[in-house]
Amino acid sequence: MSTHVDIEVDLLIVGAGPAGLYAAYCGGFRGLRVAVIDNLPEPGGQVAALYPEKLIYDVAALPAVRGRDLVENLISQADAFGPTYILGEQATTAAPIVPSSDGGPSRWLVGTDHGRRVNCGAIVVTGGIGRFTPRPLPAAAAWEGSGLTYHVRHLAEHAGRDVVIVGGGDSAVDWALALQPIAASVTLVHRRAKFRAHESSVGELRQGTCTIITDAQVTDADGDDHLQRVVIAHSSGERTTLAANSLIVALGFTADLGPLESWGIQIVDRRIVVDTAMRTCQPGIYAAGDITDYGGKVRLISVGFGESALAVNNAATYLDPQLSLAPGHSTDSAQQPAAVAASSTA
C-alpha cells in the first residue's frame, strides 16, 4: 500500500460548520497545525448551504446575526491562524498509525473520497447532522434550476417574483416572512392544518400579506424555459392554479453519518457518544456540536462553540500531556494573530 500522504497536521476538523470553524480557531490559538475538511464546496455547513439569509438570535453577544455574516466572521477568526481547508471532499476512512518509537500517542490516517490522505495527531468531528439531502417535490422536480430551489441563498433573487413556498416548518415560514417585503406575492402551501414552525412566527405570518393555503399540496408545475405556474390540489378535491416564478421547497432533508459509522466510534441514533471532555471511545478522536450526544445535551450553536473549545483543548493535551488544559486568556497570549498583535501595540 502506498504511504503517500497529501497533508500532515496536528489536528483535523471533520465538518466546516460553525462548530468546526470555531474549532479551527481554537486549534490555531493553541499553536496547532489545523486542517478542516467538509464534503460541501464552501465552509459554513448547514448555515451557509440552507440558511445564509436567516437571522440567528441565540448567539451570545449578537442580538441578531445573519447566517452568512456569522459564517464569514467565523472564517475570518479562524483564518488568522491559517488553517488548511479541504472542501468538496468527504472524509471516508480513519485508521490509527502505529505509535512512534518515543512512546507518543498514535496518529491517524484519514482518507477522502477523492483519494487524498491526511496524517493527523487528533481528530475533532463537528459534522452537524452528517451529510444532508433536501427532500424533493416530485411533482415539480423537472424545474430544479429553472425556478425551483430548496433553499434561499440570496433574497434579492426572488425580488418582484410570484413566490410559492412548500412546507410547514421553521424554514418555510421564515422564508415567507423574509420575502413578503420584496416579492410580488408570497403563497405558503402546507399539506396539514397545523404548522411545525414556531407558533409566534406563524402568528406573525398570518398578520402579513402572505397567502396561506393549508390541507393542500403542489401536484403539478409548468412554464416555458422557466417555471411560470403551479397547480395546488386541496383536500376538498378542488384544484387551484397559481402564478409562480419561484418555487421554494422546504420539506426538510434526510441525513446520515455515512462513513463515520465505520470509524469504530460509538454512535447511537445517528449521534456520536462523548464524555465531558468531548472524547469518543477512540483515543485521539473527539466530537463537538450537533453531532454529539451525552446526558443533558442541548443542541444550539452557542453550545457547539463551547463543545468545540472543550474538544480542541483536550485534544491539545492528548497530543502533548505537558500542555495545560486551559488555553489562557486571548488578550494575554503570544498566540494572538499577528494583525491583532500589531494593532494592540500601535
**Is 290 annotated as contributing to ligand binding?**
yes
Q: Is 51 annotated as a binding residue?
A: yes
Tell which residue, 217, 209, 208, has the closest CA to residue 137.
Answer: 217
Tell which residue, 129, 164, 147, 158, has the closest CA to residue 47: 129
| 336 appears as a binding residue in the annotation | no
Q: Is 57 a known ligand-binding residue?
A: no
Written as one string, the DSSP assignment of 293-312 is E-TT----HHHHHHHHHHHH
217 annotated as belonging to a binding site for a ligand: no
Which residues, including other chains, have CB under 8 Å from residue 81's CB and lie 6 or more apart?
Answer: 24, 25, 27, 28, 29, 34, 337
How far is the C-alpha of 298 from the C-alpha of 30, rounded, in Å?
26
List CB contacts of 183: < 8 A, sequence separation 6 or more. 158, 159, 160, 161, 162, 163, 246
Annotated binding residue at 60? no
| Strand-pair category, 107-112 with 91-97 | antiparallel
The residues facing 149 across adjacent strands are: 248
**207 is known to lie in a ligand binding site:** no
Residue 237's region, left for phi above 0, alpha for psi from -120 to 50, else beta, is left
Q: Where are the beta strands (DSSP E) in 126-238?
A: 131-134, 148-149, 162-166, 185-190, 211-214, 216-223, 227-234
**CA atoms of 15 and 308, how far apart (whole Å):** 12
Which three cell numbers mark 292?
Answer: 454529539
Measured at the CA of 205, the angle between CA 204 and CA 206, to 5 degrees, comes to 90
Selection from 137, 135, 138, 142 nearest residue 223 by Cα: 142
Contact 221, 148 (CB under 8 A): yes
Residues that constitute the known binding site for FAD: 38, 46, 51, 91, 132, 290, 331
List the binding residues: 38, 46, 51, 91, 132, 290, 331
